[in-house]
Amino acid sequence: MTTIPSGIKNWARLSGPAAVLATVHNRARRGHRTETGTLTGVALSAEQRREVALMLGTRWELSGKPVRLQDLAAKLAEHHLTVLGLVEALHGEQIEPDKAHRSRAQAEATAERDRAAAHLTKAGVAADVAGRWLLDAGLPRPGSGELQTLAEQTATVLVELRCTGGGTRLAQLAAGTLHDAHALDADRQLGRGVARLLALLHDLPRPQRAGRAWRAAWAAAGVMCDGVSSRVLVLNLPLTGESPAARLCAAAPGEPVWLTLRSLTGTWTTSASDVFVCENPTIAEAAADALGAHCPPLVCTDGIASGAALDLLAGLATADCTIHARADFDPAGFTIADQVLSVAPRSRSWRFDARTYAEECGLSGHCDAPVDLAAAVGGLRDVHDLTRIAVHEERVLALLMADLEAVARSVDQQPR
C-alpha cells in the first residue's frame, strides 16, 4: 500500500481537498479517468478553494477555474503519488469500477449457484427440481456463500431422510442430523428451505409458514411435526366432526379452551356463523365471565397468531364463517391483522379502525370505520403513524363486551 507523506495526508483531510478527492473516488468507481480531466461538478467555497490551493497554488485559486486533474497529478507526482493512488491509499483499498464489480459479483453468484445445485444433485435431487428450488425468493442471494451452505445442509438432511426411511419426528431429525433440535423449525431458513424442496419433490404447495402446507411437505417425507406447541384459545366454538378439537369444544360450553395443532387434525367443520377474533386472553376470560355459554364464538390468538390459530381461522373461513377480527393498536397488532387476512381475506374489522383508535387517543376529526378489515387496517395505519401511541385491547374492553352482549341478545331473540 502506498505511503502518504504526513503533509499530504493532512491536506487531504481538509474540507476542500476532501470534496475533490471524493469526486475522484466516484470517477474511479464509474470507470472514468482520474489523472486527466476537469472536475466541473465540484462546487467549492472560497475557503475550500484556499485549501485546495495549498496544493495547486495561488494562481489557480485566483483564476476561479475548476480543478484540472492533470494539474493535481503533476503536484502529487512530486511526492511519488498518483491521484488514484492517493485516493486508494486514503481508503485503504483498491477501487474496483462498478462495472467490473458487478461483473465479478455476477460471476461469483453464478459459481455459487452452480455449487449449490451440485450439492443437491449429488444428494439425488433432479437437476430441474434443484433449479426451481434455487429460484425461490426466500433463499439467500448467491454470492455471499450463504446459499451454498444452505444447499449443503439441505442435502445432508435429504441424505439422512433417505437413510432413515422416514418415521421420525422433525425435532428428532434436526437433533440427530444437525445437532440442534430447532434447526429445522419454520422460523429457521434451513427448515423453510428443506420444507420447500420437499414440497417441490412431491408436487405440493410451497409452505409459507408452519401450517398445513408445512406439515404436508414434511409428512410426504415421513417426518412428523410437533403438534402440541402451537395453540390457540377459543370460546364457544361450535366445531363438529371427528377431530379432537371438536370434542374438546363440545365438552366445555362457556369455558375458554386451548386447542393445539394436534387436536385440530382430522375432520372438523362448523356451521356458518359470526366468529370474533381478539389478541389477548383477558378478552376471552372477560367474555366467559360475563356471557358464559351465551357468548358468540370467540378465537384468541394470544399474541402473534400461531400456526394453530391460522389453520383454525382458515378452516372457519372455508366454512363460510364471518370473521370479525381485531388486535392491539400497535405494530404487532397490525402483523396479526395481516396474518388473519392471509387466511381469511374477507374478514371484517371488529373495532380495529381509525375511528376507534382516534377516540381512544383523544384525537379530533372524523375518521371512517370501514367494515372490511383490509380497508380498516389501511386507514388505521395512517393515523397510527402520526401518533405512534399504543392502545391495548384491554383499554376498549367495555366496548368489546358490549358488542358481544348485543350479538348474544340478538341470537337469544331469534325464533327457535
pLDDT in tens, 355-404: 999 999 988 766 778 899 999 999 999 999 989 999 999 999 999 999 99
Phi, psi (rounded to 5 degrees) for 233:
-95, 130
Q: Is the pLDDT of residue 93 over 80?
A: yes
What per-residue confidence (pLDDT) applies to 415? Answer: 58
pLDDT band at 265 (very low <50, low <70, confident <90, very high): confident
The pLDDT of residue 390: 96
Mean of pLDDT values over 291-313: 96
Residue 213's alpha-carbon distances to 17, 82, 96, 206, in angstroms, are: 60, 61, 45, 7
Sketch out the chain's domains with CATH numbers.
6-95 (no CATH), 99-224 (no CATH), 231-412 (3.40.1360)
C-alpha torsion angle, residues 58, 63, 65, 70 (rounded to 10): -50
Reported confidence tier of residue 259, pLDDT bands at 50, 70, 90: very high
User: Residue 24: its pLDDT value, please?
Assistant: 95
Cell 426466500 sits on residue: 138
Indicate the average pLDDT of the chain. Answer: 93
Sign of the C-alpha dihedral computed for residues 211, 214, 217 and 220 taken in this order: negative
3-state helix, strand, coil in the chain (%, to 5): 55, 10, 35
The DSSP call for residue 365 is S
Looking at residue 1, its pLDDT comes to: 60
Burial of 324 (0-12, 13-18, 19+ CB in 10 A): buried
Count Cα atoms within 13 angstroms, Cβ side, for 372: 6
Which residue from 125, 150, 129, 152 is spatially nearest to 139, judged by alpha carbons?
150
Q: 275: closest CA among 228, 229, 309, 231?
A: 309
Residue 77 has pLDDT above 60, yes or no: yes
Percentage of the chain beyond pLDDT 70 is 98
Residue 416 has pLDDT above 60, yes or no: no
Residue 316 and residue 332: Cα distance in Å, rounded?
Answer: 23
Degrees to nearest 5, angle at CA 111 with 105 and 113: 100
Is the confidence at residue 32, as pLDDT, over 70?
A: yes
> What pLDDT is stored for residue 370 in this prediction?
87
- What lies within 8 Å, CB to CB, of 70 at 6+ separation is 35, 36, 37
